[in-house]
């Protein structure tokens, strides 16, 4: 089968490898679509993410859809939950398996991900895809589930005002969710004009381009004027201190700021005096809970959220270099790689 492995920062290589053999409780999946994520970008650019570093050639990709090719469910189209927790620790037993210390995650550390034509994965983590959701959109269900978890952390309710600071795919999915819940206004900002336009198209009531000062991310930005204390809940989805500063600046006293973005240098900082005076609630979003992917599937199946317009490029596995070039340059929105398309 065809596999792409990251050997070092910027060094992706194709390989021919034997097909995986499913272990107990696993099923063989033909991988039809993989969404490239900001965390894949960090692995590719830096050879690691946070405190996890590349120590062997790794198959990236954790936003995955495919078709079961073994067992009684052969032929079933599925979305894959990339997180495989232990199921036995206190956190797992309490329904917080996303925080499991023993969790293995596809495309991270020692666990290979989806940029290969086939993978073996636990059957309990393979969620049936309805006919209404194409494979490429099925790969976007995992980031949608993260957005759902972030909204839950913020305890978002109808009528609340909200800010989304960073309009990559998860930020844009947050915009849609917040509008679906009934939030107004929904403010959205990003450095890239095409993302601002997408946020506006997806329902943001006030979408603005920001231009942070790299020497002082806390500096006010007259051109974009992020309003002080204007929203009931703020989501930082850029992984940048300037976006954190905007979230802290914009949220009302006593209200939550949810950090969803992953910083490239593994550090997040903000002006303590502003946050302290406001007594903000600072919450960090760790992936998704086990119940969020099924919720994402139901929302999209019911037509309540739109995913197709987020997909800006689709590449075969042989063109994975071009796909990562677009990812690194932040061209478009969501980039999909199709290792073994459903119609192949």
Question: pLDDT per residue over 59-71, tens digit each?
Answer: 999 999 999 998 8
Residue 302 domain flag? no
Ramachandran angles phi, psi of 214, nearest 5°: -60, -20
The pLDDT, as a whole number, for residue 212 is 67
Same-domain status, 278 and 152: yes
Given its phi and psi angles, is residue 329 left (phi above 0), alpha (psi -120 to 50 degrees) or beta?
A: alpha
d(CA 123, CA 125): 5
DSSP letter at 129 equals P
Same-domain status, 246 and 198: yes
Which pLDDT band, with edges at 50, 70 and 90, does 222 fall under? very low
Same-domain status, 253 and 334: no
Average pLDDT over residues 261-270: 89
Same-domain status, 195 and 133: no
d(CA 149, CA 82): 15
Percent of the chain surpassing pLDDT 90: 83
Residue 12 domain flag? yes
Same-domain status, 72 and 164: no
The pLDDT, as a whole number, for residue 343 is 65
Tokens of residue 252, six digits: 């009302």
Same-domain status, 151 and 279: yes
Same-domain status, 110 and 152: no
Average pLDDT over residues 83-96: 93
Same-domain status, 34 and 149: no
* CATH code (residue 178): 3.40.50.720
Which pLDDT band, with edges at 50, 70 and 90, does 266 fall under? confident
Residue 57 domain flag? yes
Same-domain status, 65 and 32: yes
For the chain, how many structural domains are there in total? 2
The pLDDT, as a whole number, for residue 228 is 74
Strand partners, 335: 313
How does the average pLDDT of the chain come out, rounded?
Answer: 92
Q: Which domain holds residue 114?
A: 2-140+307-338
Instruction: Give per-residue pLDDT as tens, 239-262.
Output: 999 999 999 999 999 999 999 999
Chain centroid to Cα 217, Å, comes to: 24
Which pLDDT band, with edges at 50, 70 and 90, does 224 fall under? very low
Tokens of residue 61, six digits: 């990709």
Same-domain status, 161 and 184: yes
Same-domain status, 157 and 91: no
Residue 34: which of 333, 326, 320 has the closest Cα? 320
Same-domain status, 255 and 319: no
Residue 343 domain flag? no
The pLDDT, as a whole number, for residue 324 is 95
Residue 93 domain flag? yes
The pLDDT, as a whole number, for residue 223 is 40
- Find the Cα–Cα–Cα–Cα dihedral 326, 328, 333, 336, rounded to 10°: 60
Tokens of residue 176, six digits: 């849609």
Residue 300 domain flag? no
């Amino acid at each position: 089968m065809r596999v792409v492995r990251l050997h070092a920062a910027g060094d992706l290589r194709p390989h021919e490898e034997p097909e995986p053999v499913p272990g107990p409780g696993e099923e063989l999946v033909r991988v039809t679509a993989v969404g490239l994520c900001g965390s894949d970008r960090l692995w590719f650019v830096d050879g690691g993410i946070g405190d996890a570093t590349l120590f062997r050639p790794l198959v990236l990709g954790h936003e995955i859809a495919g078709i079961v090719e073994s067992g009684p469910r052969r032929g079933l189209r599925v979305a894959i939950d990339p997180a495989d927790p232990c199921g036995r620790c206190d956190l797992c037993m309490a329904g917080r398996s996303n925080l499991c210390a023993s969790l293995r995650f596809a495309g991270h550390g020692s666990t290979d991900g989806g940029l290969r034509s086939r993978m073996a994965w636990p059957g309990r983590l393979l969620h049936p895809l309805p006919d209404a959701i194409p494979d490429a959109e099925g790969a976007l269900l995992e980031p949608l589930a993260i957005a759902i978890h972030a909204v839950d952390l913020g305890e978002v309710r109808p009528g609340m005002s909200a800010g989304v600071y960073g309009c990559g795919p998860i930020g844009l999915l947050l915009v849609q969710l917040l509008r679906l819940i009934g939030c107004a206004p929904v403010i959205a900002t990003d450095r890239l004009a095409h993302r601002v336009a997408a946020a506006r198209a997806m329902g943001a009531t006030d979408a603005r381009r920001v231009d942070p000062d790299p020497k002082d991310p806390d500096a006010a930005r007259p051109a974009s004027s992020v309003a002080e204390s204007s929203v009931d809940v703020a989501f930082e989805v850029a992984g940048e201190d300037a976006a954190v500063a905007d979230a802290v600046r914009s949220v009302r006293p006593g209200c939550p700021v949810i950090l969803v973005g992953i910083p490239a240098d593994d550090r997040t900082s903000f002006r303590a005096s502003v946050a302290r005076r406001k007594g903000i609630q600072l919450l960090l979003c760790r992936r998704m809970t086990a119940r969020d992917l099924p919720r994402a599937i139901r929302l999209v199946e019911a037509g309540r959220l739109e995913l197709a317009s987020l997909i800006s490029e689709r590449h075969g596995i042989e063109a994975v270099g071009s796909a990562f070039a677009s990812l690194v340059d932040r061209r478009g929105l969501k980039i999909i790689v199709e290792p073994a398309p459903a119609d192949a």
